[in-house]
Amino acid sequence: MDISGDKILSGDIEKRVETSRFGPFTFQVGVDEHEAAMLLQRVADAQIRFLTSPLSQVANRLEQEVLISSIFSTNTIEGGTLTEEETKDALDLDPAQVHAEEQRRAVNIKTAYDIAQKSAQAPHWRLSVDFIKQIHAAVTDGIPHKYNQPGLIRSNPKNVMTHVGDTAHGGRYKPPQYGDDIALLLNHLVKWHDELAAAEIPALIRAPLMHYYFELIHPFWDGNGRVGRVLEATVLHGAGFRYAPFAMARYYMERIDQYFILFNLCRKQADKKMAYPNTPFALFHLDGMLTSINRLHDRVNAIVRLLLFETRIKHLRDKKEINLRQYAILAQVMERDKPLQIDKLRRSPWHEALYAKLGDKTKQRDLSRLREQELLYVDEKGLVWPGFMRSK
């Protein structure tokens, strides 16, 4: 697994490409190894801790949660309107039932993720232009657009200009417009990635660089942001990072302004010939990976605690140390993503139905005994939590 930072950036590997109409375009590592070293090591350490956690017990559940969260997040960054719950519902549909454009966007991202994961797991996988086109075709399949054609590189008519960004996020940028220039730069991008890999530049640096320069080339009419994040994730996935690369989409969504601003900041620093112009985006990415891995670790621990708690209360039910009403209350509380007020719990239709033929004293006794056994916890705000949790 490529998670070490021993050989961080041995020399700033640079590639200058002369295009026909856009002019010179330079690929460079441009990352200060002294600034990146500590974060690289922290991410490596976090990944090792994560891999030694009880992943096998929760892998399927964690993968599904990451998938839904990532698709929701990367779609939202690009203006998607589905909620996280609606995203989950769209992914549960039979493909033949997907007609609405918003649902199609979510399903397309899932298809792109499937392609990325399968590709990255193949021995000796290499980034290629064909792979990039395949991801774009998956992301934009069936999405109406005046110019975009899935898998085909953009080439602007003389009267149509493509610009990226806005003044609120550091300014507008005019990427290459001519199809041959774009094709040339994409070819050099994937070759440069091979050079970086051969020079043992860590995937944690290569991945954000591929993301960053892909967005500067901006090779398609639509879907560039989604494709760029998938490319970044694929490079990381190929290096052994299984969940965090796709979980990064939520980190970017939560910091969407900073995310967009950094593209322009690094571009402008390079234009000014500043030293290590790509450091801000690389550090941002590394912080995102650290945050994502730690979140995943916490989530694994939480799911394991839940599974152990479920086993415990089933055992108590079977031994008749809690009654069926109490078991039903615990099951309802555990099914919720968030705690609820104790008064709301008591007024819930399902709770009232449990005690339709019983008195208030039985209600109070059942809850009191659950609390005495530390199977339910009610905090100072009156919020009810399963016993294995505490309010934060």
The CATH number of the domain holding residue 366 is 1.10.10.10
Whether the CB-CB separation of 200 and 10 falls below 8 Å is answered with yes
Q: Cα(57)–Cα(52) distance, rounded to whole angstroms? A: 12
CA distances, 154 to each of 93, 142, 222, 223, 317 (Å): 32, 17, 9, 11, 63
CA distances, 149 to each of 211, 219, 321 (Å): 21, 12, 64
Do 194 and 89 fall within a single domain? Answer: yes
Do 210 and 90 fall within a single domain? Answer: yes
Whether the CB-CB separation of 152 and 128 falls below 8 Å is answered with no
Do 28 and 147 fall within a single domain? Answer: yes
Q: Cα(217)–Cα(25) distance, rounded to whole angstroms? A: 9
Do 355 and 259 fall within a single domain? Answer: no
Whether the CB-CB separation of 245 and 237 falls below 8 Å is answered with yes
List the domain range (segments joined by +) for residue 380: 322-392
The tens digit of pLDDT for each residue in 184-220 reads 999 999 999 999 999 999 999 999 999 999 999 999 9
Q: Which residue, of 299, 331, 361, is where some domain finishes?
A: 299
Any bridge partners for residue 14, and if so which? 28
Q: Cα(264)–Cα(262) distance, rounded to whole angstroms? A: 5
Q: Report H helices in the chain.
A: 33-51, 55-77, 84-92, 101-120, 129-140, 179-198, 203-217, 224-238, 244-254, 256-271, 279-318, 324-335, 342-347, 349-354, 360-372
Do 288 and 340 fall within a single domain? Answer: no
Do 293 and 197 fall within a single domain? Answer: yes
* 95: helix, strand or coil: helix
Phi, psi of 322, deg, nearest 5: -130, 150
Do 211 and 348 fall within a single domain? Answer: no
Stated pTM of the model: 0.89
Is 145 among the domain residues?
Answer: yes
Is 40 among the domain residues?
Answer: yes
Per-residue DSSP letter, 185 = H
Do 70 and 209 fall within a single domain? Answer: yes
Whether the CB-CB separation of 243 and 291 falls below 8 Å is answered with no
Three-class secondary structure assignment of 230-281: HHHHHHHHHCCCCCHHHHHHHHHHHCHHHHHHHHHHHHHHHHCCCCCCCHHH
Is 260 among the domain residues?
Answer: yes
Residue keyed to tokens 């939202």? 76
CA atoms within 13 A on the CB side of 325: 18
CATH of the domain at 84: 1.10.3290.10
Per-residue DSSP letter, 17 = E
Q: Which residue, of 266, 299, 332, is where some domain finishes?
A: 299
Do 349 and 289 fall within a single domain? Answer: no
Do 103 and 203 fall within a single domain? Answer: yes
Positive or negative, the CA dihedral 149, 153, 158, 161 is: positive
Q: Which residues of the chain have pLDDT under 70?
A: 1-11, 390-392
The domain tally of the chain equals 2
Is 305 among the domain residues?
Answer: no
